[in-house]
Amino acid sequence: MKIQHIFFDLDNTLWDHRKNAYLTIKDLFEKQEITLHYHIDFESFHTVYHDINESLWEKIRDGLIDKEYLRKHRFYDTFKHFGVDDEELSQYFEEHFLDKILNHNELVEGAEYILEYLKSKHYTLHVISNGFQEVTERKCILSGIDKYFKTITSADSIGVRKPNPKIFEYSLGLAEATKEESILIGDDWIADVVGSQNYGLDVIFFDVYKENKQEEGLKAITHLLQIKEYL
């Protein structure tokens, strides 16, 4: 059956979360004069934060922790790494991070072009995100890409995250789409590729960080414009 529905992951597939987070944390870091008060270099701080945050998101994905745990620990654990045990400072960063990140709405290179292209080809477009419900739709709206999507599913909509098959089932049901006429495009090997494959959904792996994971028959791209090779 011909593909009619395209489901996109959001963060780091269309919305450049890595860049937007970097800019937001840098703003907060400078506003609080962290280097002056604690003698911490921003690039070192961001590197540690990134590693801790990625690890915590993997644990959320695997059902080992909830989002409240992540929100309490990602900045606290980062500061503690540098010998700063300050819950109030960590919570300041957390609360303002979620609010201020939406001031930065950089898209992944080629995102708007490829969405326009796919829309012109009469595909119906959707989002399946593991992000928090309260920010997923705002990211789409504030970056100007909400107009391309018929449905937007966040993990909080159903209470499970990719690769759990229930979120794919829920999103396809919302979209009134079948597996046979659908495909997912995403950058996370476990959540997007393994999750889609286990559910029986075709997938294009956006190898944005050039992990060079190889699998026979797998559709893979390193730039969004390469989607045109498959659709």
Q: Tell me: do 159 and 57 sit in the same domain.
A: no
Instruction: State the CB neighbour count (10 A cutoff) for residue 167.
Output: 24
Question: Do 27 and 146 form a contact (C-beta atoms < 8 A)?
Answer: no
3-state helix/strand/coil string of 59-106: HHHCCCCCHHHHHHHHHHHHHHHCCCCCHHHHHHHHHHHHHHHHHCCC
Q: Are residues 96 and 126 in the same domain?
A: no
Q: Is 130 found in the same domain as 74? A: no
CATH of the domain at 91: 1.10.150.240
Q: Residue 1 has what pLDDT?
A: 76
CA torsion angle for 58, 59, 62, 68 (degrees, to 10)? Answer: -120
Could you count the other beta carbons within 10 Å of the beta carbon of residue 81?
15
Same domain as 32, residue 123: no
Q: Among 68, 101, 134, where does a domain finish?
A: 101
Same domain for 115 and 136, yes or no, is yes
Q: Determine phi and psi for 206, rounding to 5 degrees.
A: -90, 95
Q: What is the pTM of this model?
A: 0.92
Are 7 and 22 members of one domain? no
Side chain identity at 25, as an amino acid letter? Answer: I
Q: How far apart are CA 91 and CA 45, in angstroms?
A: 16
C-alpha 115/C-alpha 14 separation (Å) is 9
The per-residue pLDDT for range 43-101, each reduced to its tens digit, is 999 999 999 999 999 999 888 999 899 999 999 999 999 999 999 999 999 999 988 99
CA 28 to chain centre: 21
My answer on whether 140 and 223 are in the same domain is yes
Domain check: are 167 and 53 in the same one? no
Domain with 122 in it: 3-14+106-227
Give residue-wise pLDDT tens across range 168-207. 999 999 999 999 999 999 999 999 999 999 999 999 999 9
Residue 212 has pLDDT above 80, yes or no: no
Domain limit, last residue, from 67, 84, 101? 101
Both 95 and 197 in one domain: the answer is no
Query: Do residues 80 and 113 both lie within one domain?
Result: no
pLDDT of residue 216: 83
Cβ atoms of 196 and 166 closer than 8 Å:
no
Choose the final residue of a domain: 101, 129, 164. 101
Calculate mean pLDDT across residues 147-159.
95
Q: Which residue has the tokens 């159903």?
A: 158
List CB contacts of 46: < 8 A, sequence separation 6 or more.
22, 25, 26
Total domains present in the chain:
2
pLDDT tens-place string over residues 1-12? 799 999 999 999
